């Protein structure tokens, strides 16, 4: 491994550690990570309790995914805004470690930490509602979890440049939260949505992640469907990373042009 790559990796790990430290001290993160997904899980479990035990794991996975997406959107986005406010964003763009690596480290940490949402929803459904929760295909489910994490990281990298470039993007965060819950089919199948929304869902990696997790956890599909979901997840993750890389390059040049890195 060359010296530069080793330095960038070490910096990404340090950035991830920083993100975790600041999350622990931030009550808003705890809300997004625990309270909101649990509220969604409770409501969904009550509404869907007549559908049988099989549906409980669907809700657990779905509400966990809502926690993941909210954390990614708000914690990662707010993280960049906070860096701008404290005046550290300028510093981060002027160090030898490219900003892409720093944000990657933070996003990996945030996304991995968000798995807590899923664990919390699992504990809630199991203890409070007494559902006998079991994952139907545990190994395939674990593979799906890993691919899901990768795709969420890629999705986070895709939206991060907008936060770097423009402080006003934060205002759009709320508007971006629920459409993804719905279009990605976290809590109910997208078949319930109008037909014209389906192509949009297909372009969202979280949709394929939710699909892979739902299939492997509640046995509602065969191997072909799992492999198709994994394939789409990998393709979209790759595409997102490629676009993100390009966007970061353009964004940083634009930020140097427009002097927005230090704006409060």
Partner 1 sequence: MSAVEVTHLRRVYKITVGVVRRSAKEVVAVDDISFDVHPGELFGLLGPNGAGKTTTVKMLTTLLLPTAGSARILGYDVTHQPERIRPRIGFIFGGERGLYWRLSATDNLRYFASLYHVDPEVSRSRIPFLLEMVGLTGREKEKVEGYSRGMKQRLHVARTLLHDPEVLFLDEPTIGLDPVGARELRHVVQNLQLEGKTILLTTHYMFEADALCQRIAVINHGRIIALDTPEGLKRLVSDLSVVEVEVFGSAETVVDRVRALPTVEAVNIETLDQRQVLQVQSPQGSEIVPGILNALAGIRMGRVAVREPTLEDAYVRLVGGDK
**For binding to partner 1 (CB under 8 A), which residues are involved?**
3-4, 7-8, 10-11, 13-15, 18, 21-22, 25, 86-88, 90-98, 102, 253, 256-259, 261-262
Q: How far is the CB of 165 from partner 1 (least distance, A)?
A: 14
In whole angstroms, how close is the CB of 26 to partner 1 at the nearest point? 10
Judged by beta carbon, residue 21 or residue 51, the one nearer partner 1 is 21
Tell which residue, 113, 157, 117, 155, has the closest CA to residue 18: 113
CB of 12 to partner 1, least distance (A): 9
Q: Are 194 and 184 in contact (CB under 8 A)?
A: no
Nearest to partner 1 of 18, 116 (CB atom): 18
Q: Is 201:207 a contact under the CB 8 Å cutoff? A: yes
Q: Toward partner 1, which CB reaches closer, 92 or 158?
A: 92
Among residues 23 and 216, whose Cβ is nearest to partner 1?
A: 23
Q: Which residue number, 87 or 222, has a Cβ lying nearer to partner 1?
A: 87
Rounded to a whole number of angstroms, the minimum distance from the CB of residue 24 to partner 1 is: 10
Q: Is 189 left (phi over 0), alpha (psi -120 to 50) or beta?
A: beta
CB of 156 to partner 1, least distance (A): 20
- Of 89, 108, 81, 86, nearest to 14 by C-alpha is 108
| Burial profile 69-96: b = 16 or more Cβ within 10 angstroms, e = fewer | bbbbbbbbbbbbbebbeeeebeebbeee
């Amino acid at each position: 491994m060359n010296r530069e790559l080793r330095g960038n990796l070490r910096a990404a790990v340090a950035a991830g550690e920083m993100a975790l430290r600041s999350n622990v001290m931030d009550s808003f993160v705890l809300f997004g990570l625990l309270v909101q997904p649990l509220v969604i899980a409770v409501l969904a479990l009550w509404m869907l309790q007549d559908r049988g035990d099989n549906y409980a794991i669907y809700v657990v996975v779905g509400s966990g995914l809502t926690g993941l997406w909210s954390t990614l959107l708000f914690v990662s986005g707010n993280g960049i805004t906070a860096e701008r406010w404290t005046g550290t964003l300028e510093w981060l763009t002027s160090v030898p470690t490219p900003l892409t690596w720093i944000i990657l480290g933070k996003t990996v940490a945030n996304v991995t930490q968000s798995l807590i949402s899923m664990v919390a929803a699992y504990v809630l459904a199991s203890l409070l509602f007494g559902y006998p929760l079991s994952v139907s295909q545990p190994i395939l489910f674990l593979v799906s979890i890993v691919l899901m994490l990768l795709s969420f990281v890629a999705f986070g990298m895709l939206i991060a440049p907008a936060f770097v470039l423009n402080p006003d993007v934060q205002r759009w965060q709320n508007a971006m939260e629920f459409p993804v819950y719905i279009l990605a089919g976290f809590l109910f199948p997208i078949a319930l949505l109008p037909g014209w929304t389906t192509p949009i869902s297909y372009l969202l990696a979280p949709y394929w992640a939710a699909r892979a997790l739902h299939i492997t956890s509640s046995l509602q599909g065969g191997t072909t469907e799992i492999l198709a979901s994994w394939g789409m997840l990998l393709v979209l993750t790759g595409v997102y990373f490629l676009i993100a890389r390009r966007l970061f390059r353009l964004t940083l040049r634009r930020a140097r042009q427009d002097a927005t890195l230090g704006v409060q």
